[in-house]
Amino acid sequence: MASSAGDGKEVATLESGHASSSSSSSSSSPAAAAKMTAVARKQRPFTWTGPAIVLGFELLESIAFSGVALNLVIYLGTVLHGATAFNAAHVDTWNGTTFIVPVIGAFLADSCWGKYNTIVASLLFYLAGLVLLTLSAAISPFRPSSCEGLSCPPASRTQFSVFFAALYLTSIGTGGVKSALLPFGAEQYDDSSPEESRRKQSFFTWFFGAINLGIFVAGTLG
């Protein structure tokens, strides 16, 4: 009987420990973290600060990306003196890469890093690419000499390498920004509140308005 009671206590202890560890692991899961975030959001009044920052960020990102994309063919032809077929092939490759990378960014945001960390990591690549792209256009050793009459010296392998390294850094950077920024902005609203749910619908309109405004500004200034 004593042995049976002892075995029962050991089983109960093991079950208690298992339940405790299960509770601990579930509390640290992404779903539990999202639930805690939602509870914390309900405890504070709504402000436009978070959505406004997201919209401003998207506007600036749209201007930067569109400024590069809209002028890429012209830059390759008039500054780097690339052939037409060469320019078209590389622009198509860059565009394809740019719009495939967000699929990877979405996976990382949903399954690994979370939206905020994915956006921050992508932004580092984005900024590095834009800075290097600016340097490649502004510093003379990174671009070929100007045309003299009908003679246009082509860019060297190093100059092309620097330019395309900068270009694909921006492409990688768009992966997290384009895939995670919109849902991250939408998470600033509490769906259980009818007022915030209505404001959330307006946020999507403002977000795509920011994208189009960025394209307009880039096309006008470019």
Asked if residue 9 has pLDDT above 50, the reply is no
Q: Quick one: 56 and 39 in the same domain?
A: no
Per-residue pLDDT of 93-108, as tens digits, reads: 999 999 999 999 999 9
Q: What is the distance in angstroms between the CA of the first residue and the CA of the last residue of the chain?
A: 88
Query: Region 48-72: what's the mean pLDDT?
Result: 91
pLDDT score recorded for residue 134:
92
Domain of residue 128, CATH code: 1.20.1250.20
SS3 letters across the chain: CHHHHHHHHHHHHHHHHHHHHHHHHHHCCHHHHHHHHHHHHHCCCCCCHHHHHHHHHHHHHHHHHHHHHHHHHHHHHHCCCCCHHHHHHHHHHHHHHHHHHHHHHHHHHHHCCCHHHHHHHHHHHHHHHHHHHHHHHHCHHHCCCCCECCECCCCCHHHHHHHHHHHHHHHHHHHHHHHHHHHHHHCCCCCCCHHHHHHHHHHHHHHHHHHHHHHHHHHHHC
Q: Are 115 and 182 within 8 A, CB to CB?
A: no
For residue 32, what pLDDT is reported? 54
Contact 99, 170 (CB under 8 A): no
Residues 12 and 53 in one domain: no
Asked whether residue 82 falls in the same domain as residue 105, the answer is yes
Residue 32 and residue 54 share a domain: no
Residues 119, 54 within the same domain: yes
Range of the domain at 22: 1-44
pLDDT tens digits, one per residue of 159-193: 999 999 999 999 999 988 989 999 998 888 887 88
37 and 98 co-located in one domain? no
Whether residues 27 and 127 fall in one domain: no
Structurally, how many domains does the chain consist of?
2
Q: Please give the pLDDT value at position 198.
A: 82
Least confident of 47-56, 83-92, 142-151: 142-151
Residue 163 is predicted with a pLDDT of 94
Mean pLDDT across the chain, nearest whole number?
A: 81
Quick one: pLDDT at residue 89? 92
- How many CA atoms within 13 Å lie on the side-chain side of 107? 4
Please tell me the predicted confidence (pLDDT) of residue 38: 52
Whether 152 has a pLDDT exceeding 60, the answer reads yes
Tokens of 147: 């045309």
pTM: 0.73
In a shared domain, residues 185 and 84: yes
Does residue 37 sit in the same domain as residue 86? Answer: no
d(CA 126, CA 191): 32
Question: Is the Cβ–Cβ distance between 212 and 144 less than 8 Å?
Answer: no
Query: Do both 205 and 117 map to the same domain?
Result: yes
Residues 115 and 171 in one domain: yes
The string of pLDDT tens digits covering residues 93-151 is 999 999 999 999 999 999 989 999 999 999 999 999 999 999 998 888 888 888 877 78
| Residue 182: closest CA among 206, 198, 199 | 206
The total of other beta-carbon atoms located within 10 Å of residue 48's CB is 11
- Do 155 and 102 share a domain, yes or no? yes
